[in-house]
Amino acid sequence: MAHIAWLGKKTPFCGNVTYGLSTTEALRRRGHQISFIHFDNPSEPSSSQTSLLANDPEVSLPYLVKSQVYTIPSPRAQRELRESLERLKPDIVHASLTLSPLDFRLPDLCQQLKVPLVATFHPPFDAAIRNLSAGTQQLTYQLYAPALARYERVIVFSEMQAEVLAKLGVKKNRLEVIPNGVDTECWTPVIPKITNPKLREIRNKLGKERIFLYMGRIATEKNVEALLRAWRLVDLQGCRLVIVGDGPLKQILESNSLSTNDSEVLWWGYESCLETRISLLQCAEVFLLPSLVEGLSIALLEAMATGTACVATDAGADGEVLEGGAGIILSTQGVTTQLRTLLPVLRDQPVLTSELGRRARLRVLERYTLSRNIDRLEKLYSELLDQRPKTTKEAFLDSAPLQQPQFQSMQNGHRLVRDNAKQQ
């Protein structure tokens, strides 16, 4: 089993946080030792230092600014990171990149400490560069590519992302396509005849309407505004749109929604409870993801795993996930127009939504389970550890069996010389 120093985020809630927490927990269950290094400013002055214990499973690094998108560490964060790694002595450092200046310094640091370095590169993108937001994300890839080229391995979620980075100079043999995965024993469809108090509670809060649901960040790149415009343009009697999440645009969009008397739109807000999030998706008939750019949406995979019919744009790898009938794929151009046509069809065809939900669940079971993700991650770790330069002692022990016959011949030669001398 390996000792993995995981550098990532625990707050604020976003896909990077979900990825880091679920992956490290799964690795722990398989017997690996995890030291989680994340950005956090302790509230108590007495706890302003990082732990001095070598086996401490958690290390906090100070920061100046932290958001769902990027992190600006404090001036002393790099020194504390180095001291923590020297103290922990991990077998591997895995950085779930937080869009931080430290991301660019990690290759030098790990090279000095002689520890293999793995990155998971999350930033979303739209390969067609069809809008301003997509162009901004492309710039992120261009800025990061020279640094990523110095990591031992870079994990991305789709072949499309790998191709982009390869064109920007990252060697193909350093790129690993390992899609996100979800725990399909946790995210499940409603199980008939089994009483679930939480599910009943959420269903009562939502009312009797059929539920169309968005879950994720409420930010420009998620294009929630296009979804709201489409919802206002159609009359979906007996249906309700539920918006779960938070972000920089929430207050503006919610205020506009209230001013236009969108009575069939429920602004749920950020939801931290896992059981509640599962119940929300189980109550939903349709999951909607109108993003302009994406990586590989974990929220989409969670919705698919719960057997919810899914509609998403072809941004990032989301279109790849839904292709072949596992869901409905929209273009990132003209989302409002497409949804205006599609929403009434989904309302009028419950058999269609049921079949799409069934196919979505099957697709996740085939390709996107967390156990499959961890299998591939363990294989990657094993390959890197096997390639690690041996210490002098390890090299001597490995070569000793090969030297034994030669050593034996030398002993026999000395014995013959000694015996001849005695005879003379």
Sheet holding 284-289, edge to edge: 265-269, 239-244, 210-215, 284-289, 309-313, 328-330
Q: How confident is the model at residue 314 (pLDDT cuts 50, 70, 90)?
A: very high
How confident is the model over 270-308, as pLDDT tens digits?
A: 999 999 999 999 999 999 999 998 889 999 999 999 999
> Does residue 365 or residue 54 have the better pLDDT?
365
Q: Contact 304/360 with Cβ under 8 angstroms?
A: yes
pLDDT > 50? residue 424: no
- The SS3 call for residue 192 is coil
Percentage, residues of the chain above pLDDT 70: 83
Query: Which three-class secondary structure string do you get for 196-248?
Result: CHHHHHHHHHHCCCEEEEEECCCCHHHCHHHHHHHHHHCCCCCEEEEEECCCC
Question: pLDDT at position 259, please?
Answer: 67
197-368 topology per CATH? Rossmann fold (3.40.50)
Residues of the chain with CATH 3.40.50.2000: 3-120+371-387, 197-368
- The SS3 call for residue 253 is helix
Average pLDDT, the chain: 87
CATH 3.40.50.2000 fits 3-120+371-387, yes or no: yes
Percentage, residues of the chain above pLDDT 90: 71
What is the average pLDDT across 67-84?
Answer: 92
Question: pLDDT at position 67, please?
Answer: 85
pLDDT > 80? residue 54: no
pLDDT > 70? residue 419: no
pLDDT > 60? residue 14: yes
pLDDT > 50? residue 260: yes
Entry field: residues in the chain: 424
Structure tokens at 146: 């020279």
Q: Contact 227/216 with Cβ under 8 angstroms?
A: no
How confident is the model over 128-146, as pLDDT tens digits?
A: 544 444 555 678 889 999 9
Q: Supply angle C-alpha 184, 186, 188, rounded to 5.
A: 65
Residue 118's φ and ψ, nearest 5 degrees, are -115, 140
What is the average pLDDT across 158-171?
Answer: 91
Q: Contact 214/227 with Cβ under 8 angstroms?
A: yes
pLDDT > 50? residue 322: yes
Report the C-alpha gap between 219 and 246 in whole angstroms: 8
Q: Which residue spans within 75-226 are E strands per DSSP?
A: 92-96, 117-120, 153-156, 175-177, 210-215
Sequence-ordered list of residues with C-beta below 8 angstroms from that of 410, at least 6 positions apart, any chain: none
Query: Which three-class secondary structure string do you get for 283-333?
Result: HEEEEEECCCCECCCHHHHHHHHCCCEEEEECCCCHHHHHCCCCCEEECCC
Based on the number of CB atoms within 10 Å of its own CB, is 44 exposed (0-12), middle (13-18) or buried (19 or more)? exposed
Characterise 247 by phi-psi region: left (phi > 0), alpha (psi -120 to 50), beta (else). Answer: left
Strands 284-289 and 210-215: parallel
